[in-house]
Amino acid sequence: MKEPQLPPPDSLSPAEKRSSKRPTRFLVIGAGSRGNAYARAVTTATPGTIHAVAEPHAFKRREFGRNFIWGDQGISTEGQEFTDWREWVKWEISRREQARKDNSHDDDDGSGNVVKTVGSAKTPVGVDGVFICTLDETHVEIIETIAPLQLHILCEKPLALSLQDCLTVYRTLQPPNSETKQPLPPSTIFSIGHVLRYSPHNTRLRKLLLEDRVIGEIVSLEHCEPVGWWHFSHSYVRGNWRRATALGDGSLLTKSCHDIDFILWLLCSPPSLETAHAMGYEPHFPRSISSSGSLTQFRRARKPVAAKDATNCVSCPIEQDCKYSAVRIYNDRHLANGHRSWPVGIVSPDIEDVYKDQGPKAAETHLLSQLQEDYDVATEADSTIAARPWYGRCVYEADNNVCDDQVVTLAWDDEERAPGRLSKTATFHMIAPTEKQCERRGRIYGTNGEIEYDSHNISIYDFASGKRSTINVPKPPPDQKESHGGGDYGLARQFVNAVEAVVNDGMDIETAQARFVGCTLEEAVISHAVVFAAEEARRDEVVVKWKDWWKAKLTTSALG
């Protein structure tokens, strides 16, 4: 469903917007874990407000609304609650048509609900931006549909599940000039959920490397994402991201595309995007990309013999002895200890209500009933099995096919005798069976020293002095400990700040994008493209020559 180009959500002049200084308003599409993470960040760390939610699951939608929109005692008003993003699009188009007829102005109806008022006519206000937090395969359709609404967009990563779809998004948001065929300047703020760019730890690390140059020229980088032994089984063996297709949407894309982006951010991008635009800076792209990896652990060949033909943990004869037992992970490890949010809330979205209304024993019974759900490959269609997660399924009998161990190698050539553009290498390792859960670590080697980092500390060794110094980056507050080291909050804050600058201060889009978001749509698409190139290199066991590969992909896409 595509609608014709429509005017911005509120037809105010730049002068009127600057004088109003109203809080910016946002819609969250998808009230799952990521939607809640961004809503929490917006409401606690920015001047923006979450104004509406679109979510088909009734319990998730109501809980989200209570937490971030209408409060414990309130109920939703018109324009705040939608069962589907398509329903919201239809409502928003109708609202704009009515607002144009009313030629209205901002007012308040006395209950805190801002409305458009002309005489007796009242039109609810819309939103300035949208957070897209739905399943990965839905992102392209949503963006294509809402693009004519000219709203600012933050899309959860990955942007899309194929390179072709990523390029479709790019051409949708920045269509080519009919005469020059070059992309038109962006008309809205766009941000992608590459949260690693926005944590206090990583912004400090980047400053040390690119601005302070504490280890001189970078020679090589090693970066690792330890996914976590049970976390991988939850999301990539039993959960929504367990299957890859020939398009390249494996675990490297769905789990670690922001790690690849992190590496490119350190080794390709200028210290300041805003300054780079003025200087005509071109990123220093790698010469070659190679990768190796496979599904090593979660397959039938690894299944303990004592488990016999069991396909579900609840009925498995060795359930109590298996570390991947769904009962042990979700009930014993989490629910029994009072943890009802992620991952238990993913398995059973209404677990909180059951716990509050009926008590812990009923909650346990409810959880176990859901873990008992299983399928028979002999009688059920593969499409039916693939359509939903199976959190009680034996990890050795699941239908997963994504890598649980993968290494990517990037290599650069000298481009010119200039800082940051000399030859270097980088390796990235994504590994599933680890003690640490998503606590990245790495080492960077330079001409004057080396840096070692984990998710909390940065250690610098200087060759000339022989001295080592350690920087303890302040930890995020307790309520942000599950937010990618504060990256969720940093990303949401910068996106809202960019929208605020445009809506309330009249700043032009390109300046706000560079100053606050620090990443363009083009840069986001290219970092995704590097992931697809790495997957192609892994599958075909080849070394991808980036410049030729990218040129060929762009040519093929243009012809298509």
Q: Please, is 205 exposed, middle or buried when counting C-beta atoms within 10 Å of its C-beta (0-12, 13-18, 19+)?
A: buried
Least confident window among 1-5, 100-104, 294-298, 534-538: 1-5
Pick the CATH number of 14-192 from 1.10.3720.10, 3.40.50.720, 3.40.50.1100, 3.30.70.1710: 3.40.50.720
Q: Which residues pair with 462 in a beta bridge?
A: 449
Mean of pLDDT values over 104-130:
64
Helices (H), 212-306: 229-232, 251-254, 257-267, 273-279
Q: Specify the amino acid at residue 498.
A: A
**Is the pLDDT score of 117 beyond 70?**
no
Average pLDDT over residues 3-26: 54
Decide if 468 contacts 446 (C-beta within 8 A). no
DSSP, collapsed to helix, strand or coil, labels residue 93 as: helix
Instruction: Give exposure, 111-148, as e/b (b: 16+ Cβ within 10 Å).
Output: eebbbbbeeeebbbbbbbbbbbbbebeebbbbbbbbbe
pLDDT of residue 278: 65
Span 296-318, average pLDDT: 96
Residues of the chain with pLDDT > 70, as a percent, come to: 90
Give the C-alpha separation, 407 to 393, whole Å. Answer: 28
Q: Residue 298 in contact with residue 314, Cβ under 8 Å?
A: no
Query: For residue 353, what is the enclosing H or E element?
Result: helix 351-358
How many CB atoms are closer than 10 A to CB 94? 11
Residue 110 in this model has a pLDDT that exceeds 80:
no
Residue with tokens 């606050």: 516
Q: Which two tokens stand for residue 257?
A: 């595309």
Question: String of b and e for 519-550 (b: at least 16 CB within 10 Å)?
Answer: bbbebbbbbbbbbbbbbbbbeeeeebebeebb
- Burial state string for 208-233 with b = 16 or more CB within 10 A and e = fewer than 16: bbbeebbbeebebbebbbbbbbbbbb
Looking at residue 16, its pLDDT comes to 40
pLDDT in tens, 255-292: 999 999 999 999 998 878 877 766 667 889 999 999 99
360 or 120, which is more confident:
360
Q: How far is CA 509 from CA 16, 144, 499, 522, in A?
A: 18, 20, 9, 14
Residue 412 has pLDDT above 50, yes or no: yes
Task: Give yes or no for residue 9 having a pLDDT over 60.
Answer: no
Is a pLDDT exceeding 70 seen at residue 103? Answer: no
State residue 7's pLDDT score. 42
Task: Dump pLDDT digits (tens) for 326-383.
Answer: 999 999 999 999 999 899 999 998 898 899 999 999 999 999 999 999 999 999 999 9
Predicted confidence at residue 1, as pLDDT, reads 44
DSSP string, 184-206: PPPSS-EEE--GGGGSHHHHHHH
Q: What is the pLDDT of residues 215-234, one digit of tens each?
A: 999 999 999 999 999 999 99
pLDDT on residue 239: 92
Q: What pLDDT score does 455 carry? A: 86
CA distance between the termini of the chain: 21
How far is it, in rounded angstroms, from Cα 382 to Cα 399? 9
Q: Could you give the CA distance from residue 236 to residue 232 in angstroms, rounded to a whole number?
A: 5
Check: CB of residue 446 under 8 Å from CB of residue 219: yes
Domain ranges of the chain: 14-192, 200-297+403-479+520-559, 300-386
- CA-wise closest residue to 209 among 487, 527, 517, 426: 426
Place of tokens 């704009």: 96
Exposure class string for 257-289: b at 16+ Cβ within 10 A, else e: bbbbbbbbbbbbbbebbeeeeeeeeeebbbbbb
Q: Rounded mean pLDDT of 499-506? A: 96
143-172 pLDDT tens trace: 999 999 999 999 999 999 999 999 999 999
Residue 287: per-residue pLDDT? 97
Residue 37 Cα distances to 110, 215, 488, angstroms: 30, 35, 7
pLDDT (0 to 100) of residue 107: 54
Decide if domain 200-297+403-479+520-559 falls under CATH 2.70.210.12.
Answer: no
Residue linked to tokens 């008590």: 359
φ, ψ dihedrals at 196, nearest 5°? -65, -25
C-alpha neighbours within 13 Å on the C-beta side of residue 349: 15
Report, as an integer, the average pLDDT of 430-444. Answer: 96
Bridge partners, 152 (sequence order): 129
pLDDT > 90: what percent of the chain?
77
Res 11 pLDDT > 80: no
Q: 54: buried, middle or exposed (CB in 10 Å: 19+, 13-18, 0-12)?
A: buried
Whether 13 has a pLDDT exceeding 80, the answer reads no
Residue 115 near residue 95 (C-beta atoms within 8 A):
no
Give the closest residue to 315 by CA, choosing from 236, 201, 245, 397.
Answer: 397
Note the pLDDT of residue 482: 61
What's the rounded mean pLDDT across residues 113-125? 60
297 pLDDT above the threshold of 60: yes
More confident residue, 413 or 278: 413
At residue 476 the predicted structure's pLDDT band, cuts being 50, 70 and 90, is confident
Please give the pLDDT value at position 6.
45
User: Is the confidence at residue 115, as pLDDT, over 60?
Assistant: no
Structure tokens at 115: 């409305």
